[in-house]
Chain A
Amino acid sequence: MKRRTFLLTGAGVAGALVVGWAVTPPKPRLVPESARLPLGRGDVALNGWVTISPEGTITVAVPRAEMGQGIYTALPMLLAEELGADWSQVQAIQAPVDRIYGNVALLIDGLPLHPDDQGRVVSASEWIMRKVGRELGLMVTGGSTSVRDAWQPMRVAGASAREMLVAAAAARFRAPPSECRVERGWVHHPSGKKASFGELAAAAAKLTPNRVPQLKDPKDFTLIGKSLPRTDVPAKVTGEADFGTDVRPEGLLYAAIRMAPVFGAHWSKFVVNGADTQPGVKSIVPVVNQAAGAPVGIAVVANGWWQAKRAADLLDITWEAHRNSSLDSAGIMASFRAALDGGKAHTYRSQGGLAAGFDRAARTFEAEYSVPYLAHATMEPQNCTAQVRDGKVDIWLPTQAPTLARWIAGKVAGVASHDVTVHSTFLGGGFGRRAELDLVVQAVEIAKTTGGRPVQLMWSREEDMAHDMYRPAALARLKAGIDGAGNIVAWQQSIASGSVTHSLVGRLGFTPMGPDKTSAEGAADVPYEFATHRVEHALVKNAVPLGFWRSVGHSQNAFFGETFMDEVAAAAGKDPLALRRSLLAKHPRQLAVLNLAAERAGWDKPPPAGMARGIALHQSFGAIVAQVAEVSVVKTERGSMPRVHRVVCAIDCGTVVNPDIVAAQMESSVVFGLTAALFGAITIKGGAVEQKNFPDYEMLRLGAAPVVETHIVPSAAAPGGVGEPGTPPIAPAVANALFKLTGRPVRSLPIKLG
């Protein structure tokens, strides 16, 4: 693959692109350029987002992946609200790949801006990135952006379609459109005449869509803000919901693969060892294309997956001695420590002159924290089904990045992107892992050898665990200075880790450059008003592939900062809640969230016997979350373990589309973050991942899961993210409770009690 410079990393993006894009008119997001919505008999599309059948069924094209976050419900609610649809007639389908569905919000979130920044530079950067985003048209589900991105275009699409239906009705009634009223799938006229959306759709489709329709006043919302049941749930209680591994195209073959344990290694030789004569086995396929970071491997194709897997286990493979085999977790941590000692770091935030702050300090405190690599461990192992025939490619996969999947499939098969059809399925968990393309590369490579028959490649759990793109391991040093009155006058956070963005950009064949905002997010952008504040990050590269893991940099940086905050509070003799309040005088939204969590948790009352409460506040992905954890220590077969009984969670995520989905995401985020805090560790030895399967990469289970109570701050602000912001605060909330309970600070994850 040709190596080019990737322009979209780090600072300087706006300046570099302004000339190129300023002359291009912004791409509208109403009418698709190439793709057309799949239509049933008699259905008509009023724009790229909605079709209506003669019976009145409203089908909404959802351009994001449903991975449990409820997007097949939340996005149709936006469109149906403005359309004036009867919700019981609304259904969701997966949108085809087209530029109008590109995720603009994700790119804007990637700009190196601080949440408190505003003004002309910010709005100019955002304006440019919006144009870039529309040009790129990348369909990506990630960064908790789906509702934030769709909030405008999907409401516009609904309102525009409503205006067309009203115009068609007005013509039929021989009355002005202004006299018509829309209610639950019908257009009414005061004369008593009425017509259903289904009756009007064909005539409406002949009209020109208005790109700037009148949107509803939020006080008139009838759907947005309601806990409507999710559209995908019924199929998920009957086993009918199809995930990637459930697609069964005609003539399907199955493939299992064995890959090198050591990152980047190749085999030196392999002996088939009878694998090819096992029942059902069709062929043995070496896979060497390493595009998109795909490891090399040897695949077995068979009539069933189990047959393929069992035959693959017979292969006698000798892996080469590889330079990466000297890599291990202890050495990696030592390299982080050396990088911080060396002092070469990029500064992400510098405010008020840190040295002067420390000069004013009566006392200083320092602590070193660390976190390990983490796997995504989606319940559905990585998989992709591919068919290559007659110059066309079909891929069926659970993906967060269908546009890129189409591009890479075309590259690997040697066909143009428009000859690739992506069939997106439900995702059996995503969490960032399914923004990757490695499975597409391998599946298409294998499908090139099967004579036109489709082949479903699925990794075993063991291969999935050992070949993830991991949440970075990281080391952080925190230093705070307090004055005689106990006020924090200096706060320094120095972090060392690899870079997710650099790792990803390198995998895609580009040259990574510049700072990576995700390394310092959750540290450089905290809402606290420290008198002096410095956040720096030292980039340390190694061969461990890194990826986006639910809440990305926030997942480790919130732990570092919010845990240290309680250590500083204890040293300064302050209540952790009071100390945080004192740092939020200019941040009323954050303060309100913190106060709500504390109030609902009963912070000022003693906790139940044997328990302590810990609190943490964090903002990420456009939302603010505070959590109070009630924690005790229990004896288990794993030794003394923290037991989290109850988590009180407060969130301000702006306008809420569906409160129950917000609550579900808070519950989910807490369990995800708690699993990492209590169990999660991917360790490297001899250049390979040591963990193989769930017995040695344990997950929180029902018996140890806390009750999560969610309290939402009412807000009329634009929607924020929901899928990730609940994850960062739970580890520090639990750590802070344990500190109170045991007197010993928690400085590394997963938590180990002596």
Chain B
Amino acid sequence: MLKLNINGTDRNVDAAPDTPLLWVLRDHLDLTGTKYGCGVAACGTCTVIVDGAAVRSCAVPAAAVAGKKVRTVEGLAATSLTRLQQAWIRHQVPQCGYCQSGMLMAATALLEKTPQPSDDDIDRAMTNICRCGTYQRVRRAIKDAAGMTTPVAASGAAPAPAGLTLSTTLSTPAGAK
């Protein structure tokens, strides 16, 4: 019997000690917000937070987190959505959504450690794969949640306004020349 602390609650789990944390969460505790993507810690879809650090739960034996505090996407919003979740909605980040639990957990761990992350900090922390390509919205949502304004890109790209029309413009074409 494994004793785990998940989202602040002690849970007893009847699983083999080498069962990866991911499968204890999904198959034993019915916490299906954390997803399987690769099984080899390569994609980040299964990211959870263990004692404050982002961890790829598909490659961590459950026994290794006994006595530690495990947080999953289900534990993010106790009563109301976190700033990060709100920013995720404001920027309409998810598309298919499958990787987004992992994205949110990686970003939560980043902001807890680095409340004002630089672009390099974000690049280094956010190595999760998103097949839908939500990356630029992930970056903007992290900066928004951190209370940082999005700087104008070096190439002269327009700054992203807050709200839903981010990078979209309805344009009058220059006309057929």
A residues neighboring B (CB under 8 Å): 67-70, 227-230, 232-243, 245-246, 248, 254, 279, 303-306, 377-381, 426-431, 458, 460-462, 581, 588, 591-593, 595-596, 599-600, 602, 608, 611, 630, 645-646, 650, 656, 659-660, 662-664, 667-672, 693-695, 699-703, 705-714
Contact = CB atoms under 8 A, between A and B. Distances in A.
Contact of B167 (A67, A667, A693): A667
Nearest to A648: B157
A664 B164 CA distance: 11
B156 interface: yes
Nearest to A431: B131
Interface string B12-46: 00011001101100111011111111111011010
Given A229-B89, A305-B23, A377-B131, A236 B100 contact: yes
A337 B18 CA distance: 51
A656 B165 CA distance: 13
Contacts of A381: 36-37
Most chain A CB atoms below 10 A, which of B35, B92, B134, B175:
B92
Contacts of A646: 153, 155, 157
A120 B95 CA distance: 41
Contacts of A379: 35, 37, 43, 45, 96, 98-99, 129-131
Interface in B103-136: 104, 122-124, 126-136
Contact of B157 (A227, A705, A707): A707
Contacts of A581: 177
Nearest to B30: A248
A713 B169 CA distance: 9
A693 B100 contact: no
Interface in B156-177: 156-158, 164-177
A705 B136 contact: yes
Given A248-B30, A709-B169, 13 more contacts: A230-B92, A233-B92, A237-B88, A240-B33, A379-B43, A430-B96, A595-B175, A600-B171, A659-B170, A668-B95, A699-B131, A701-B135, A706-B136
Given A248-B32, A427-B96, A660 B164 contact: yes
Contacts of A427: 96
Interface residues of B, number: 80
Nearest to A608: B155
B27 A663 contact: no
Most chain A CB atoms below 10 A, which of B22, B99, B134, B176:
B176
Contact of A709 (B42, B158, B164): B158
A611 B175 CA distance: 27
B133 A672 contact: yes
Contacts of A239: 31-34, 72-74, 101
A695 B42 contact: yes
Interface of B: 15-16, 19-20, 22-23, 26-28, 30-40, 42-43, 45, 72-74, 76-77, 81, 85, 88-89, 92-101, 104, 122-124, 126-139, 153-158, 164-177
B173 A595 contact: yes
B170 A428 contact: no
Main SS class of interface, A: mixed
Contact of A668 (B100, B129, B132, B167): B132
7 contacts: A306-B19, A592-B175, A595-B177, A672-B133, A693-B38, A695-B42, A711-B168
Contacts of A245: 32, 35-36
Contact of B104 (A233, A237, A240, A713): A237
B173 to A, nearest CB: 4
A660 B92 contact: yes
A230 B96 CA distance: 12
B32 A592 contact: no
Nearest to A671: B133
Contacts of B74: 238-239
Contacts of A671: 130, 132-133, 135
A306 B96 contact: no
A232 B89 CA distance: 10
Contacts of A711: 168-169, 171
Nearest to B20: A306
Contact of A664 (B88, B92, B101): B92
A241 B73 CA distance: 12
A238 B95 contact: no
Nearest to B169: A711
B81 A237 contact: yes
Given A229-B89, A238-B85, A705 B133 contact: yes
Nearest to B33: A239
Nearest to A584: B176
B92 A712 contact: no
A700 B157 CA distance: 21
Nearest to B34: A239
Given A236-B100, A428-B35, A428-B96, A659 B138 contact: no
B73 A238 contact: yes
Contacts of B85: 237-238
A699 B129 contact: yes
B7 to A, nearest CB: 11
A128 B82 CA distance: 53
Contacts of A672: 131-133
Contact of A238 (B76, B131, B139): B76
Contacts of A237: 81, 85, 88-89, 93-94, 100, 104
Contacts of A670: 133
A700 B132 CA distance: 11
Contacts of A667: 133-134, 136-137, 167
A709 B93 CA distance: 15
Contacts of B170: 656, 659, 712, 714
A702 B166 contact: no
Contacts of B169: 709-712
Contacts of B38: 461, 693-694
